[in-house]
Every structure is written in C-alpha cells, then in structure tokens.
Structure 1
Amino acid sequence: MEHIERGLTEAEARGRLAIHGPNLIVKPREVSFLGIVAEEITEPMILLLLFVGAVYSLWGKLEDALTIFVVIILLVLAEVWNEYRAKKAIASLAKIAAPVAGVLRDGAIKEVKAEEVVPGDVLALSQGTRVAADARLLVSYSLQVDESALTGESFPVLKKEGEEVYAGTVVVSGEGLAEAVATGRGTRLGRLSAAAREIKPPKTPLQKAMKSLAKGLVFVALFFSFLIPFLGYIRGQPLREMVLTGLALAFSIIPEELPIIITMVLGLGAYQLSREGFLVKKLKAAEVLGDATVILTDKTGTITENRMRVVWAYPPDKEKEVLSAAMASMTGLSRSPTDMAIMEKARDMGIRAEGAVLRERSFDATKKTRALIRRLDSGNELFVTGAPERVLKSSLEPRPDIERAMLEEASKGRRVVAVARKAVLEGQEEMPFDELERDVDVAGIVAIEDPPRNGVKETIKRARDAGVRTIMVTGDHPLTAAYIAGEVGIPGERVITGAELASMSDDGLRREVERVSVFARVTPEDKYRLVKAMRENGEVVAVTGDGINDTLALKAADIGIAMGIRGTDVAREAADVVLADDNFVTIGHGIFQGRKFFDNLKKGLKYYLSVKTALILVFLVPVLLGLPLPLAPIQIILLELFMDLAASAGFVAEPAERSIYEPITKKKLFDRGMLAGIGLSGLSLFAAVFGPYYYALSRGLPLEGARTFAFTAWIMGHIFLAFVSRSEREPLISLGPFTNVAMDVWAAAAFAFLFLILATPLGALVKATPLTASQIFLIACIALVATLWQEAIKMLKNIPKTEKA
C-alpha cells in the first residue's frame, strides 16, 4: 500500500533506468558529424570537384591540383558544418517535445519524459492519457481504454483493478493508478513492432519544392556549363582551359545548396523557438507559421493565467457543504485547473472527500458535466458537477436563486461550476448515468477566478495590426467569455454558443465566423467545424487544443498547437506544436518569428540565385563579345567557398524587420517581385565584375592582371550585394550594418582572404597578380556603385514615411 501511495523515489527510478534502459520502442535517428561527412563526400558535386582535381593533376601543374584539393577539404567542412547544425537542431526538436507521462514519485504525481518510465513506476492515468508502459491496474475508477493500437478494435474496453493496460493504448474515460511491469521493447507493443529502426524526419512541402527546383536548375546550369566553354572553344580559346572551365562552372553554378538553405532556416529557427517554449514538433509548422491569418484559441490557461482560485460559493451560508459536495465529485487524480482550485480551497477549510469511489463518468464535453458515485456511511450517493445550466436542467426543483447568482458571477468573468447530489438506492449503482442523473438536489455553485495573462492584450493588438485575427473559443458561460474577451481586446459584443452553432448550416457558419470572434459553451466538434469553416473562407488557421476530442481540430488546422501544461497526451501527439507554457503571448511570438523565417529564407534564396545568375552572365557575355574568360578555372572553384556560405549561414542570423508586424498577403516564395529582384541583383553583380575586367583589358593589362581585377571585383561585389540583400525595403543605414554578426564575420573573413591573395605569394597559386592601392580603390568604387544603387532607391522610398512621421 505504501508503494501505491508514494511510488518510487527518484533514486530508485534512476537505478532502474540504468538497468532496464530507456522506455523506447523505436530508436530516434542519430545525427553524426562523421555520418554527414560520409554523405557529403559522396555527393555528386563533391565527386565532380574531385574529378576536376584529378584532371588538373593530369593536365595542369601540381600546385594547382593541391590548391583544388585544399579547397575541396575546406568546402566539404563548411558544407558539413552547415548540414550538421541544421540536422542537429531538427533532431533536438524531438527531444524537446518528447512525450511525457504522469508518475507517482516520492509521494507526488510528477510529469517525466515517457522514455524515463521504469518498471515499478506508478502511472497516473486520466482521460486522454496515452499509457506509457505495460502496467497492472492498482486503482480503477471506471477506466476505459482504447486498445485499437494493438487490436484494431476502436471500442473502449472497461478495465478493473488487477487487469493489465498496455503501452500505446489511450484512456478514453475514467481515472486510475497502474504499476508499470514492462517498458520499451519488453512491452506488448514492443514485441509486436518490427526490429527497432531509425525514423527519418519527413520533408516539408517547401523542402520538397526546393529539391525539385534544384533538380530543374541543374539542367540550366549544365547547359551553360557546356555552352560557354563550347562558344569559347569555337572562338579560339584553348581546349584544355575550356574543358576545365566547363567543369568548374558546373560545380559553381549547380544550386546544390538550395535544400540546405531551407533546412537551415527552418530547422535552426524552429529549434530556437522550441528553446523559448514554442515546441515545434513538425518542421512544416515552422514553414506555415508566418502565413497564419487567424488564431483560434482556448480561453482558460491560454488567454488567462491558469491560476484558478475559488473566490465565492453560493449559498454563502452553506459554503462548506457546497465545497464538500464538490470535493466528493472528484477522485483526487484529476489535474484539471478547476479541480485543483477546488481541492486547494477545500484543503484550506479542512474538507476531505469521504467514502470509496464506486463508479465515475468522466467529464463529457457535450454534456459539460461529470458524475461520480461514492459509498458513504449513510449509503451510496451520486455527485454531479459541471456547467450550471446543465446541472440545473436535472434539478428536482427550480432554483432561480442559483440561476441569478450564476449570471451575476459569470458577468464578472468568473468560471462558475454547479454541484448536485442524490442518494443512490441499493441495486441502482450500475444503472446508466443518464438515468441516475435525473432529479438531483443542487447543492450550490462555486465561482472561480482566473484573470487574463499579462501581455495578452498587447499581443492580440499587435497581431490584429499585423492582419492576424484572434478568435476565442471556450466551454465557459457566454457572459464569462464576453467579459474576458473585453479585457484582452477581442470584440465580444456578440457571443455565439455551441447550441446556436449546432443549428447553423455550414454556409451560415462560414458567414458568421467572419463577423463573430467569441464562441462559448462549445464542444470539440464545434471547434472542428469552426476550423473547417475558416479554412474554407481562405484563412490560414492556427488552433489550440488540450483534450482528447480536440484532435480533430488540431489535425484539420494549418497549425495545430497543443497545451504543454494541461494538454492530454493525445492532443500533444496530434499537434504540430506544443506550447510549453500554455501562454497566448508565446503563440503570437511564434507567428511573428515564423514571418521572420520566411523573410530570411526569401532573402537568402534571392541572394543565392542572384549570385548564380551573375556567374553565368560573367562568363556568357565575354564569350559573346569575343573576349577571354574573366576567371581562371581554379579561381571559379575558389569563389565557391564564399558564394554559398553567405546565403546558407549569414541570412539565417538576420534579425527581424519591422515589416513582420504589418499586414501581409499570403506569400508565394517565387513571386514577380522575387524573380525581378533576382534578375536585377544578378545584373548588378555582373556589372560590378565585368566593369573592372573590361577596364583592365582596355588599358592593355595582361590577361592574368585583368582576371585579378575580375576576381577582386567578384569578392567585393558579392559581399556588398549580401549586405544590400539584407532587406528589400529598409536601408542598410537604418538596419545597422553591424547587427548581423554572422554576416559581418563572413565578410571580414572574405576580405582577409582577398588581402592574402593580393598581398602575399599565395596569389600565385590562384593565378592572381598584385594590385596597387589605386587599382583596388577603383574596383571597390565600381562594385559599390553597381550594387549600392538599390540602397539609394530604398532611402528615396523611405523619405515620405520619415517626413510623415
């Protein structure tokens, strides 16, 4: 009995975990640095580089071949580090949002990671709990379990004390305590499963689209990688140089980093959010977050503080009697905020629940009540608690006094719970609850206060200003809902109840949901209909849920958000995101961060594809004009070290712009503006490189000197373009040139590399010649003018806003 009352100690649990191992059936996918190295060096692009190095070894000088192999090593390390960071972040999401289980440890019910449950742990089971291990029931209060995960039969199975419940099954009603007897691969589910396997995270739609785009662009890149050397050869360029140039161009132009850029922005962004309490379980949620136009949120614990306290009972002169009946209506295993508030108040008054629990009907979202039968000294008794209007309907006699008190308390924004009792005659204990719950004696009501959270009102306003509407749904009374809505700035002039929703057609609901922002006394099925109606209206919906029946709405929404504190296991599993603190402010933060992800992704891709476009033009135009190629093959390969790093690493760290707090239309990644920007930026970088190159040739400089002009202009130009690309609308001077540390470090490294090439003997290895200070200054001026004209346009566009302000 002591074991049932206290459970294991933490020390005992740790010891058993060391013996039995983690409670896992499927091994999580491990992210290994060496594994990614092995993947990377077998990539077609790296193999192509190795082939180029081998060809250089045969056709060129030994120092050229050695230089290329050093570049290959550096490039592989850079690619591997980027990939490792992104994949490690994504793998960490699963650990942060890992399933949890309620266990009795050291005499108190605690939540631990499900993988830490050990044989001998006492599991606390309630509605919506997924059983964490095979276990033997020690206590059962009408516990019913859905065993379809094992048997395929979805009918609930009633479980009594002494019977087994199995890992992976779901408690659909009732409550109980069960001692774990087997965990992990030793469970029935573990034995039925195939050998432990690694699970690879599924690709998001955007990742798939980028992979598809990259494959399509490969053909474009290969076309130009063949066309440019071919044109050069028929115009008299050396065959050997043209072959090496074609190979180098193929490597540099092919956009192999596109999928990595997506993974880095979404993966690292989602991981950062998860560290802040917005636990992104599925990477697609990070992709869709910024598109949200509606947040359909619960009231209790999300908009309110979830710190409920009993503030009043009616009749006032019978407060102890009312609270005694309320205590008797619960088993003591419930962790709901309402029950916890009542238990705390009852304990303060020295009230304890007497008598053994015979049967329980769990809280029903449709009936809005819960019922329980206890064996007392005076005989068996039924206790019913829940929504006052539902309890009053079953009252033996009218109670207008309670109805008036209920309306008065609800109008103050308080949650009101009614309590009723009724004697159960001998032989009636097994009668259906629907029959037993008629003609009850209403003991009174309990008023519970739960004020709005700090920051919610400001978050709702900021979201509204940004074009994101907040709709509140609650099981509470309409007057309670209207009061809280008014407190946080949600339009609550009209409140629609679940009963009204039930009588509405789907077309009528689609119209009403555009005008009404508060819905009260709703059921999970109502919430699902609301989500469906809004999506049919073209909205991108984020919805919160915590109960077993919320899974429909969570799955139907574009972004399903489960409550981390009061959410059931089933809701957490169905959701894309778990809200660690159940706080609406965190939802708002997540949506704005989602906009930042998309912004940064768009900037990174625009820059990346602009550079690729410029590289094609830098080689195509001189060939068409009959000029020598502006870069030696080894220089092309060397530039690859810096071209992709800015897009894949620099833009990930870009701070959020003010524009994320403004209304937006549903975004397409490659819209006209994006394509035009790629074209203009590509032309700008081309001008920055071709201008100095053509100038050097026209001044009679030898080809190696002219190519050094082009090489220097390329490095400078694409650094300047990266900084210009940090914002489409805001000038760099107002963004702050030093607010993106990652990009600043990258730019400093690129300039340092350029200095080494121009000022040390290393330049000879990459066919570069020394330049004078005046020549470098001239190149910098041309590159600045060719790229920074976009900054001038941004500043001109911002002048009216500044004057108006």
Structure 2
Amino acid sequence: MAVPTRNQEKAPLTERTSPPDWYTLSTEDIRQKLGTGPSGLSTEEVKERLQRYGENVLREEARETRLQVFLRQFKSVLIIILIIAATVSFLVGARLDAAAILIIVFLNALLGFSQEWQAGEAIEALKKMLVQHAVVVRDGRQEKIDASGIVPGDIVLLDMGERVPADLVILDATSLEVDEAPLTGESSPVEKDPGVLPPETDLAERTNMAFSGTTVVNGHGRGVVVATGMETEFGRIAGLSQRVKDEQTPLARQMDRLGRDLGVIAIAIAVIAVAVGLLQQREFLEMFLIGVSLAVAVIPEGLPAVVTLTLALGIKTMMRKNCLIRNLPASETLGAVSVVCTDKTGTLTRNEMAVVRVRTPDAEVAVTGTGYAPEGEFLAGEKPIDPLGNPGLRQFLRTVLLCNHATLALEEGGWRVFGTPTEGALVVAAEKAGLSRDDAPEAAEEFSFNSTRKRMTIIYPEEGGYVAHVKGAPEVLLSRSSRVLLEGTEVALTEDLRAALLAEIDGYASSGLRVLGAACRPLPDGIEWTEDAVEEDLVFLGFAGIVDPPRPEAAEAIRLCKSAGIDVIMITGDNPLTAYAIAQNLGLSSEGAITGADLEAMSDDELEVRLKKTKVLSRVTAEHKLRVIDVLSRERAIIAMTGDGVNDAPALKKASIGIAMGIKGTDVAKESSDMVLVDDNFASIVAGVAEGRREYDNIARFTRYLLSSNAGELVAIVGALLLGLPLILIPIQILWINLVTDGLTAIALGLEPAERDVMQKRPRDPDESILTRNAYAVVLILGVWLGLLTIYVFSGLYEVDLDRARTMVFTGLVIFELYNVLNFRSFRFPLHQIGFFTNPALILAILGTLALQVLVVYVPILQIFLGTAPLALADWGLLVLLGLPILIAGEAYKIIRLRLEKTAAD
C-alpha cells in the first residue's frame, strides 16, 4: 500500500486510536484504518498526527508542592483545636502559653512534612517508565527517535532487550517473546505472532499485540502503532489509578473523632465552670482565666506531636524490616490489616525459575539448589547420582543446553540469566551437571519457536554428520517421536510407554510445574532441512518440571497471618493450576481458584460468598482487583494489596494500604503505593504487620495515659472551683505538665516493645474508637483519683502560702503521673512479667522528667516563668508516698484480671 501524501485521499483515523478490537482485524484492515503502509508514515503526516493526538507520554497528576504537603499537616481536627487554644491564650495575655502551643504544632507539622516529602523524592515515578528511544520506519527509512514522538500508524521495530514504546499490532515476528508481567501479571514471557484473534480474547491472550511498557526478552519483530500515550493499555490503567481517591486511614479517622470530642468537652466544661464561678460572685477576669486553664487541661497538647514522632520512629524500624513507608499513618494502618491480597510471583515465590525434576524414559531424578547459581545435586530417591553417568539424562541435559538462547553470567550481586527465565532454568540445570556451551560448535540451522509449532530446533554439526536438538511442549514432541533412549540405546516408543509418559506430564502440570520436553535426531544424509522433514522420527529424551519455587519463609508467614486472624488471598495473572498448586504448597487453603472469567460472571454478592472460601484468583485484570477491594470492603475490612505492575496501580491506590514491590515493581506501582517492600518478600509484610500492631498498641497506651493525666488536672481544677478554693494550677503549669512531663513519658511509651501475643490477636475493628468503654472507665477512675489527691494536697497549704501550695500540686501531679505511666506500659500484664527494664527509654524519661522538675522548682528564672516556690525535702518524700498507691492498685488489678482470665480458660 502506498504511503498517503497530502494530494492523496487518506482513510480517516478513528477518534479513539485504541479500540478493543484491533486484535480482531487483519493486517490490511489495520493499515487501511490507520492510513499507513510498509514504508511507514511521511514526515508531514507525522507532524499532523502529533497535532491531533499529542505526544506519546502519560498525563501525570500534578505533584503537590512543598507548601501543599506542609499545609496538609494541619488538617487534623486536634491540630485545629490547638491553634484555636493558642489564639485564645494570646488574646487573654497568656502569650507564653500561646507560643509554647504553636511551637509544638509547628514542629509536629515539620516532622510530618519531612517524612512525606523525602518518601516522595525517593520514589519518583511515571517519567522513568516510558521508553526514551525507539526505531521506526518513516519515508521508507529506519530512524531512531525519541519515543514521545511516536504516533498512531508508525511502523516500529522491536528487538531483544528493548521496551515496547506504544501499543502495537504485530506485523511480523521471529521468535518474538515479550515480558508482560508489568501489565497483565503473567509471569511467563508471551510469544508474539501476527494473526487475527476472536473478539472475546482477554488482554493476556492477545498474542498478536505488544503493549507499551512491556519488554522484549527474545527475538525481534515489527509492529504498527495503534495507540499512544493515555490511549495505550498502560495509559488507560494509569488514568484509572489517577481517578482513585486516597482514603483516610483508620488512625486519622479516630484522631479526628477524638479531637472533635475533646473540643466539645473543653468548650462545655469551660462554659459551665465560668458560669458556676460567676454565680459564686467571682470576678469575670479570674473566671475567664480558669476557663482557659480548663480548656488547656482538657486538650492533650502533646498528643499530635507524640503520635507523629512515634509513627516516624516506627517507620525507621519498619525500614529495617524491609518495609519502606511513604507516609506516616500507613505504618499504623499496616497493623490494622485484616486481609492481604498478595501477588504470587516474586512475593510468595522467588521469581527464579528452576528445574526441580527431570523425567527420562528410564529414570526420574530430583534437582536441588536455589536461584540461578549453578550449584546443586541430582538425586535418585535420596541418593545423589552423577548425571553425566546416566546416558539418557546426559543427552537430555545436553540437548536443552544446546537448543537454547539463554546465557548465565556471574555479576556483582549474584548469578543472572540473560534470556527467558524458562530457558535460563534449563541452562542452570545443565551447568549443575558440569555441561557447558563454551566448546559447542556453531549452529548450522535453527527453526524458531512459536505458539503454533510449540517447539524449536537447532541443528549442530557433530561427528559423522548433523544432529537436530529439539525442545518444546512434551506432548508435541511425543507425537513426533518414534523412539526413546533407554540405558543409552535407542528403542521403539510403544503406545503404552507414550500413554504412561503423557500421564506423568499431566501429573507434573497439575502439581504446578511448567513442563518442557526434549528430543533429538541424528539427521540422515540427503534429508531436506525443513521443519516438517527434520522434526519427524525423533528420539524422545524426556521432560523437565520447572517451577518458580516458593520462598522458604512464606509458608510460616501465611501461618502467622492465620493465627493473627488475617485472611490471605493470592491474586495473580498466572495460570490457575499453577497458582492453586503454589497455594497448596504454602498451606494457603482454598476451594479451587477463581479466574477473571469466573469473576466476570458473578454478582458482587456471589463474589463475596466465594471469597470466604476461595483464596486464589488468577487471570485477573486491573478492574477485577478494584472490584475485589470493593467487595471485601463491604465488611469493613482493612485491605493490604501488593503489586508490581502497571496493572496493579489502581488497586494499590484504592486499597487501605498499597504495597509495591521494591525489586521488580514498576515506578507506577511504587508511586501509587503507601509502602514499598524492599525485598519483595511476603514474610516482610507480616513483620510489618506485627510492627504496625505494636505502634497502634503504643498509641492507644499513651493516648489513654495522656487523657487520664488531663482528667486528673480537670478534676483538680473543677473540684477546687466547686469547693470555693483559689485557682489550683495556672495555665503555664498545666501546659508544662501536658507538653514536657507527659510528652517525654508518652514518647517513651511509644517505644514499648510488642507484647508476646501481638500476632495471636484478631485484627481490631477499624471503626472502634481508640477510647473503648473500658478505656473511658480507666481514664475516669484514674482522673478522679489524681484530681482528689491533688485537691487534698492543695487544701492543706493554700491558706498559708499559695505559691508553695501550687508548687506542691504542680510537682505532685508530675510525680503521680510518673507512677501512672508505669500502669500504661501494658493493659494486661504486670511489670514483673513484662520486665521493669525492657523499655530503657521510659526509665530515662522518668529520670529526665524528675530532673527537669527539680530545676523548675529551684532555678530562680524558671520559678518566675512557671510561678513556683522552693520545696523542702520532706515535701518531696510526702508526694512520693502519696503517689505509690496509684502504681500498687494498677498492678493488683492486672494480676487479678490475668488470674480470672486463666480460670475462665481452664
């Protein structure tokens, strides 16, 4: 077909260049629709199409500026309440109080901003994914151009190792294989050939197309561009990801709810207290100061900063566990996960194909060793054997080594395969036996593999003639074989033996192994070297079982998930039989597997029921993953979704926590995720869940501790007011306790080690408040105790010396709360069980707080700042004795509770 010029009539281009039916059209129809031909497009036509369709680039979401990320740190309800409190304090003249609150708010925002911006910088995404250059045919000549300049109708040349620059329909191909795992999840390279496919063909089965962002791993070919930029499958999924909105994390929702509740309580108590004081004929200015003190007492000013710092420290811990967290709340959300939807390849498995069994007509051997290192043994039963001492096994390994394009090389970091993973596995197996291609003669002829032939042949010169070495689908080779090799001798292939071998091949496949056969044939003189002539009357040598082996730690990780009440669902683009077999090997119980086609036929209600028992999903698309998340979310599940490809990006963004793979993950997947799994290992996710649970438990501990302390201050101030006593604490003293005393010990509580049964508990209800009914009761009881104790101390001293009385109350609250913090190290286990010194940070915080309080009481400038007066040593001794029952009562309660639980269990 001639290349259209401006003086020729052109076939009109479709408005949308990537309709779902390109793969159903013939090459001639496609060329006609796109107005192109063998000589490619003209320069003028390219310019016009660039104007019409734009550059071959993805439309990216505008990244937030530094200012936007910083301002987002102030969205919390609790932070807004603190800013209001600071404003009120400033207006009534308490400028030091206002400054202290604003400094804490600013530092909290700075810490959150720093973490998020650094994570964003570390995972810069979409730009890196597109190909930078491509070879096209234009005006009848080959040109190397920037891939952004490709337009629909361009003819693109593909070669091994190159990324596909746009969506193409294949025009011709020679041994062309493309790795489509980033797009479809298919773990094996896909063979590509020109042709026409039926309309219902799934994306993963469209063998006559190559898609943007995938990689050519073997052969070469040529294709015509049918879609560019956002119209490609890559772009469509990226656009789908951009439309998915981020959801608020459970912790953020709970903190906002807590902030609203505290705000209402603070205003209500302040208003009531002021009203009561005015009824008592107190001065308005005095009562306004009391109202401000009450508001400051209700709100735990240090809580946002302590939460942020705890999450930031937790992120560093998770990084040591190979979990790179991109935003602060995600670390805690990981601990709330109730369902993990995980990929198979590389996450549950090693992503390294390996030969594990070889069956020759007269023997079956197991092959040991992991990865691509050519180290391992060949075992007959339990006994190691010399593979080269068995003529049939030696010939099988020699054939799969010679009929092969993969190479094995030792690089920095380990052994690496160049070529397809399956061919690489065969090379590794041959080298484990001591064979090498280094001394092999140059091949004389090759008949390439394709999906129709399902075999490939390479002919080598050997002594006395030529030998054809053939590998491919074992059932195909068996059908073309007439002989087998038994104990080094060629004998006739009987129908009984053929049937027995076919049954074993089916057994290998059903156990999740990829099966590849080998055959050979010494070529007689005068034979015509054609595919049909050479690949007949073969000597069948046997077949190999190849597997991507499960990670050794994955089974234990799945068992841990089960004990922790976490559902694990395998979602993969791989073959259902393979996926199901891997799940069984890992101990992931499932009633069969659901395919993408099955899922399409189900209603949401049916899918919800199936997902309770079926934990393996295969051949799924990006839309399917989003639907699975929607269905699982019906029961308020907190869902972790792992992924590595472009097709995973929308689901990663929609899930409660998206987990991208650090090694084999695409940049798009990483950009859409909340967490990057540095080692691609499922076991690291489970370690992260345990750390996330520890974080949440500690956040609950110090939140309840802070609120119980604030409740004590509140009871003391209100109680004193009702008894007609003077203001028991001034605002700056309350602020010192809330920010310094409580802040230091709360931060140390955030470092409390995980309790021993942290992974034996079911996931928490994401809608459950961080303050449960029992927690409110504990906060109230401790608050009343602390408050009444404080009033007792104050009432005996204020008439003699008001400043000394306030100092006693101020110091007493500090000491009482240091006792109280020990109660909150665990809600269940007493100190003698968890160990007094297992959290050294808390011991240092207690000692540091006491040292600061000594300075506040005795340093003159601090006395002026905080309104304190010197205390005698006897005063300190009295306060220490008065506070001791707080700790004794807490320990007694835990001991009694544990004994009751044990009795009930027995």
Normalised TM-score (structure 1): 0.68
- Partner of 1:716, secondary structure, is helix
In the TM superposition, residue 684 of structure 1 has moved relative to its aligned partner by 1.5
**In structure 2, what is the Cα distance between the partners aligned to 1:745 and 1:82?**
22
Aligned residue among 732, 736, 745 for 2:835: 736
Contact kept in structure 2, 1:257 and 1:644, CA below 8 Å: yes
- Partner of 2:758, secondary structure, is helix
Matched, 1:769 2:795: no
* Amino acid aligned to 1:297: T
Residues 368-517 of structure 1: pairs in structure 2 closer than 5 A: 400=499, 403-410=502-509, 414-417=513-516, 445-472=543-570, 484-485=582-583, 487-491=585-589, 495-496=592-593, 498=595, 501=598, 505-506=602-603, 510-517=608-615
- 1:201-241, Cα deviation, whole Å (9 max, x unpaired): 98646425534642453343233334324433442444443
Residues 115-514 of structure 1: pairs in structure 2 closer than 5 A: 134=148, 139-140=158-159, 171=212, 173=214, 175=216, 204=249, 206-207=251-252, 210-211=255-256, 213-215=258-260, 217-254=262-299, 259-281=304-326, 285-311=330-356, 316=393, 317-322=395-400, 327=405, 337-338=421-422, 340-342=424-426, 344=428, 349-350=436-437, 400=499, 403-410=502-509, 414-417=513-516, 445-472=543-570, 484-485=582-583, 487-491=585-589, 495-496=592-593, 498=595, 501=598, 505-506=602-603, 510-514=608-612
Aligned residue among 824, 834, 851 for 1:752: 851
- Partner of 2:727, secondary structure, is coil
- 1:400-438, Cα deviation, whole Å (9 max, x unpaired): 5653343454577644356999xxxxxxxxxxxxxxxxx
Contact kept in structure 1, 2:794 and 2:808, CA below 8 Å: yes
Contact kept in structure 2, 1:265 and 1:597, CA below 8 Å: yes
Structure 1 residues 278 and 401: alpha-carbon distance in aligned structure 2, compared to 1, 3 A threshold: farther
In the TM superposition, residue 721 of structure 1 has moved relative to its aligned partner by 2.4
For structure 2, which runs of at least 5 residues remain unmatched after alignment? 1-59, 136-144, 151-155, 174-182, 184-209, 219-227, 231-244, 361-392, 409-415, 462-467, 483-494, 521-537
- Partner of 1:171, secondary structure, is coil
**In structure 1, what is the Cα distance between the partners aligned to 2:472 and 2:675?**
32
Structure 1 residues 515 and 639: alpha-carbon distance in aligned structure 2, compared to 1, 3 A threshold: closer
Identity of aligned residues (%): 27
Aligned residue among 572, 576, 586 for 2:684: 586
In the TM superposition, residue 794 of structure 1 has moved relative to its aligned partner by 0.9
* Amino acid aligned to 2:314: G
Structure 1 residues 502 and 669: alpha-carbon distance in aligned structure 2, compared to 1, 3 A threshold: closer
1:704 alignment counterpart: 803
Residues 624-773 of structure 1: pairs in structure 2 closer than 5 A: 624-642=722-740, 645-646=743-744, 649-668=747-766, 670-671=768-769, 674-698=772-796, 701-761=800-860, 762-763=862-863, 765-773=865-873
- Partner of 1:661, secondary structure, is coil
Contact kept in structure 1, 2:443 and 2:459, CA below 8 Å: no
* Amino acid aligned to 1:243: F
In the TM superposition, residue 769 of structure 1 has moved relative to its aligned partner by 3.0
- 1:764-796, Cα deviation, whole Å (9 max, x unpaired): 553333333333233233333246523321122
Structure 1 residues 481 and 226: alpha-carbon distance in aligned structure 2, compared to 1, 3 A threshold: closer
Matched, 1:780 2:864: no
**In structure 2, what is the Cα distance between the partners aligned to 1:132 and 1:789?**
74
In the TM superposition, residue 754 of structure 1 has moved relative to its aligned partner by 1.7
**In structure 1, what is the Cα distance between the partners aligned to 2:608 and 2:443?**
47
Aligned residue among 95, 98, 114 for 1:88: 114
Contact kept in structure 2, 1:29 and 1:91, CA below 8 Å: no
2:206 alignment counterpart: none
- Partner of 1:467, secondary structure, is coil
**In structure 1, what is the Cα distance between the partners aligned to 2:699 and 2:739?**
20
**In structure 2, what is the Cα distance between the partners aligned to 1:536 and 1:308?**
38
* Amino acid aligned to 1:790: G
In the TM superposition, residue 384 of structure 1 has moved relative to its aligned partner by 10
**In structure 2, what is the Cα distance between the partners aligned to 1:279 and 1:211?**
26
**In structure 1, what is the Cα distance between the partners aligned to 2:453 and 2:297?**
67
- Partner of 1:279, secondary structure, is strand
In the TM superposition, residue 797 of structure 1 has moved relative to its aligned partner by 1.6
Contact kept in structure 2, 1:689 and 1:783, CA below 8 Å: no
Aligned length: 689
**In structure 2, what is the Cα distance between the partners aligned to 1:675 and 1:335?**
61
In the TM superposition, residue 711 of structure 1 has moved relative to its aligned partner by 1.0
* Amino acid aligned to 1:341: A
- Partner of 1:658, secondary structure, is coil
- 1:428-452, Cα deviation, whole Å (9 max, x unpaired): xxxxxxxxxxxx9999754225544
**In structure 2, what is the Cα distance between the partners aligned to 1:604 and 1:158?**
62
Contact kept in structure 1, 2:336 and 2:766, CA below 8 Å: no
- 1:537-587, Cα deviation, whole Å (9 max, x unpaired): 665443433444445665665444333323344544444433221212112
In the TM superposition, residue 247 of structure 1 has moved relative to its aligned partner by 3.4
In the TM superposition, residue 589 of structure 1 has moved relative to its aligned partner by 0.8
* Amino acid aligned to 2:425: A
Contact kept in structure 1, 2:515 and 2:543, CA below 8 Å: yes
Normalised TM-score (structure 2): 0.61
1:433 alignment counterpart: none
Which 10-residue stretch deviates more, 749-758 or 347-356?
347-356
Which one has the largest radius of gyration?
A: 2
Q: Which structure shows the bigger proportion of residues in helix conformation?
A: 1
Structure 1 residues 446 and 655: alpha-carbon distance in aligned structure 2, compared to 1, 3 A threshold: same
**In structure 2, what is the Cα distance between the partners aligned to 1:328 and 1:204?**
47
* Amino acid aligned to 1:755: V
**In structure 2, what is the Cα distance between the partners aligned to 1:571 and 1:417?**
33
Structure 1 residues 565 and 39: alpha-carbon distance in aligned structure 2, compared to 1, 3 A threshold: closer
- Partner of 1:448, secondary structure, is strand
Structure 1 residues 781 and 393: alpha-carbon distance in aligned structure 2, compared to 1, 3 A threshold: farther
**In structure 1, what is the Cα distance between the partners aligned to 2:788 and 2:677?**
53
- 1:488-542, Cα deviation, whole Å (9 max, x unpaired): 43347x644749956974566544443355x486555777776666555665443
- Partner of 2:828, secondary structure, is coil
Structure 1 residues 646 and 485: alpha-carbon distance in aligned structure 2, compared to 1, 3 A threshold: same
In the TM superposition, residue 677 of structure 1 has moved relative to its aligned partner by 1.8
- Partner of 1:562, secondary structure, is strand
Contact kept in structure 2, 1:142 and 1:175, CA below 8 Å: yes
Structure 1 residues 483 and 727: alpha-carbon distance in aligned structure 2, compared to 1, 3 A threshold: same
2:52 alignment counterpart: none
Contact kept in structure 1, 2:335 and 2:689, CA below 8 Å: yes
Structure 1 residues 479 and 98: alpha-carbon distance in aligned structure 2, compared to 1, 3 A threshold: same
- 1:602-631, Cα deviation, whole Å (9 max, x unpaired): 223223333333333222222123222211
Contact kept in structure 2, 1:545 and 1:563, CA below 8 Å: yes
**In structure 2, what is the Cα distance between the partners aligned to 1:134 and 1:171?**
12
In the TM superposition, residue 263 of structure 1 has moved relative to its aligned partner by 4.1
**In structure 2, what is the Cα distance between the partners aligned to 1:473 and 1:36?**
34
In the TM superposition, residue 682 of structure 1 has moved relative to its aligned partner by 4.0
